[in-house]
Chains A and B, each alone.
Chain A
Amino acid sequence: MSSSASSSGSVWGCPTDFRDSPAEAEFRSRLRAWITEHNPGLPVSSTDDEYWARQAEWHTALYDAGFFGLSWPSRFGGHDLPAVFDVILDEELAAAGAPPRPSLGYLVQGITTHASEAVQQRFLPGLISGRERWCQGFSEPDAGSDLASLRTTATRNGDAYVIQGHKIWTSYSDLADWCFLLARTEPDVPKHKGLSAFAVPMRQHGVEQYPLRMINGITREFGQVVFDGARVPAGNMIGKPGEGWRIAMTIVSHEREPGEVGYVARYMKTVKDLEATVRAKPGAFRSDQHEAVAWAYVQAEMLRLHVRRRLSERLDGLDHGPGGSIDKLLMTWVEQTVGAAALCVAGSHAVVDGDDVALKIYLYSRAQSVMGGTSQIQKNIIATRILGLPST
């Protein structure tokens, strides 16, 4: 380090700082030591069902060691730390080639923002610790981008609601104990107003699982659930009756944030693996393969820095606004650039061997521009709510 401008010498005051504070540095070194011992060596989450079979184990291990739920309230099992600690977690997991952190922060945000104290106390500890597994029941076969047109109903019957309907893209629903369900409770009001949210127990009669196989072959991620007379206690409503749409919007705005879902660790790990492959024998690869890997690195690095900026901004307070749509598109471009680079480096292997990991990473990446709201919908939101262009 030959150059070091002291901030005291600056006429402009303390500069922006990308370095770890002493507390962050201590956390990072403790985390790094722990990962070295406890990396479960799971396959990349997007490529293998084994990952999902063992994700609960990884979640609880991270949690029990004190490395999960960092920015969430300590009374529910979190650590009350600034959100930037999640960047450190993502960076260290990626550096060690460990699995990414479980991505459920958006459910936590939905519950802490909208649910009663009793509901928060009942559900947040299990959600955060990983002892209770959750899925999200929003989309339906006929309600995709037009989510508010959903038709699943929740009908009051004594102290409970009875659920009737068909949900799709309920990721990992066959492993879930609970479903964060969006259902119509008032059929006679405008479509955005008649929705309510529930924590529905999944292990009961009247819940049938029909998982779909993704184009890359994995079977766990794309859940599909038919609710046929399943019951949910009225006390399990999240928020107020008719508040479902607002709650859903809070959740999807965070589901779109790379800082909330932690996918950047997955991209960085793939890039790191690609770099190692090429570095082992650069002459064995063509110039377009070199460039694809370098560009994937640039993209992943941009996203890592973007998450640092976004989570730093949270020090000013949390925002549920449309900015998540910008981040979602950036994240999508990164994932698809990295996926394309994996395919490019694999060359003919990805075509000759149907089980090739690069092939699976590439095919999985195509879903990123659909899940959590399609890229087209994100662009509509950016155009109308950020750029101020008219809604059509």
Chain B
Amino acid sequence: MDTRDTPEQAELRRTARRLARELGPRTVADLDDRQRSERLVEAVRCAGWLELRQGTDDGDPLASGVEAAIIADALGDAVADVPFAGPLLAADLARRAGVRPVDGAVIAFSPDLIDAAVVSGPATDSPILAVDHAARGPVAACVLVPEGDGYHLALVETDGVRDGADLTRAIRTLPAGVPVVRVPDQSRRLTCDDLDAWAALGLALTSADLVGLMRGVLEVSVAYAQERKQYGVPIGNFQAVQHLLAEARCLIEGALSAALYPAWAVDRLAPDEARAAGRVAKAYCARAARTVCETAVQVHGGIGNTWDCIVHVYLRRALLSSRWFGDDGEQLRQLERIRLGVPYGLS
């Protein structure tokens, strides 16, 4: 048992943080700097990070969930406006199905953002959501088509536009009636185990994103508390402010400890165990992130409630990462079902 980073992982952590901080937005205005965001997208592509969960010749992913979570953490830390978890999760599911990943594709989700969208007929029968795809241009999204006791992958496309709450990652609604095209040459049907393991990765990546963005927003808030003066001294001198920030610091440490486990478990434990580990992490990280981001807004005072202050960019990103694959409420309901035998939906 040794949960430390290997030297390679530590190096990856440093590289990813440096790159994300260098090219990520530092101000709200930076979000409109297209040249910067395109450089960031290009840098992530060149680093090979989107391919981490593609298969090697023997079908194993190129890198474990731990490396993927390290990148997710770094991108959250910098509120980096670049697709990562979306394409990575699509590549992971394609690997499990034994097909080549469709370039630029993401997975479509049910309207509650919890599960991959399932479509039975020749076209979508209700609106579904593409999450964390390229900001511009048409979007391809994979859906699950039931087949025998498993699922086949199929593609849907859209060029519709819709802005979500998160200003750093795109969400688009695919309306009912969009044609569904089966992905050719799928060598194996996706089983429930495949989907559990895949969802465990989704929970691990969204939890890691939350850990990163909590760290980032705390750093911004501590810097602000050292600089903003009232009563002639920096507000960070006051214990009332210090204690809010100290609590946030603790929540981040707990969240990191909880989030590391599913990132490891996704490749090492049975799928249902990995997903349960992901549920624990997500429940903890979602609640912690809400508190930490709200603390950040509070410490920034009136300015924290203005559009041009960056803290709401973190809070908004936290709202999507929390909700994606199920928020704390959803995870607790599922843990009640699994551990206490409470029928899902009863409470």
A interface residues (Cβ-Cβ under 8 A, vs B): 1-7, 9-21, 24, 84, 87-88, 275, 278-279, 282, 287, 290-291, 293-295, 297-299, 301-303, 305-306, 308-309, 312-313, 315-316, 326-327, 329-330, 333, 376, 378-380, 382-384, 386-390, 392
6 contacts between A and B (CB under 8 A): A9-B60, A12-B12, A16-B6, A279-B339, A295-B283, A308-B3
Which residue of B9, B260, B340 is within 8 Å of A290 (Cβ)?
B340
Which of A6, A24, A279, A301 has the most C-beta atoms of chain B within 10 angstroms of its own C-beta? A301
Q: A376-B243, A389-B237 are in contact. Are A302 and B280 (CB under 8 A)?
A: yes
Beyond A3-B96, A313-B4, 18 extra complex contacts between A and B, CB < 8 Å:
A2-B194, A5-B64, A9-B60, A13-B7, A16-B4, A16-B263, A17-B264, A18-B261, A275-B339, A282-B343, A291-B332, A294-B335, A301-B258, A306-B258, A308-B1, A309-B256, A326-B249, A387-B245
Which residue of B226, B266, B269, B336 is within 8 Å of A294 (Cβ)?
B336
Which residue of B1, B234, B265, B339 is within 8 Å of A312 (Cβ)?
B1
B192 to chain A minimum Cβ distance, whole angstroms, is 10
In this complex, what residue of A is CB-closest to B58? A9
Cross-chain contact A84 with B2 (CB below 8 angstroms) = yes
A294 cross-chain contacts in B, Cβ below 8 A: 283, 332, 335-336, 339-340
A292 to chain B minimum Cβ distance, whole angstroms, is 10
Which residue of B62, B225, B268 is within 8 Å of A389 (Cβ)?
B225
A182 to chain B minimum Cβ distance, whole angstroms, is 26
Cross-chain contact B8 with A12 (CB below 8 angstroms) = yes
In this complex, what residue of B is CB-closest to A278? B340
A387 cross-chain contacts in B, Cβ below 8 A: 222, 242, 245-246, 249
Count of A-B residue pairs with CB < 8 Å:
210
Range for the number of chain B residues in contact with chain A: 35 or more
Which residue of A18, A21, A24 is within 8 Å of B3 (Cβ)?
A18
A381 to chain B minimum Cβ distance, whole angstroms, is 8
Cross-chain contact A297 with B225 (CB below 8 angstroms) = no
Contact with A along B52-83 (1 / 0, CB 8 A): 00001010111110110000000000000000
Interface residues of B, dominant DSSP: helix
A287 cross-chain contacts in B, Cβ below 8 A: 346-347
The 10 tightest CB contacts between A and B, nearest first, are A287-B347, A383-B242, A306-B257, A382-B246, A379-B246, A13-B8, A5-B267, A389-B236, A379-B243, A312-B3
Which residue of B62, B242, B264, B265 is within 8 Å of A380 (Cβ)?
B242
Cross-chain contact B7 with A16 (CB below 8 angstroms) = no
A213 to chain B minimum Cβ distance, whole angstroms, is 31
Cross-chain contact B341 with A282 (CB below 8 angstroms) = yes
Which of B96, B256, B261 has the most C-beta atoms of chain A within 10 angstroms of its own C-beta? B261
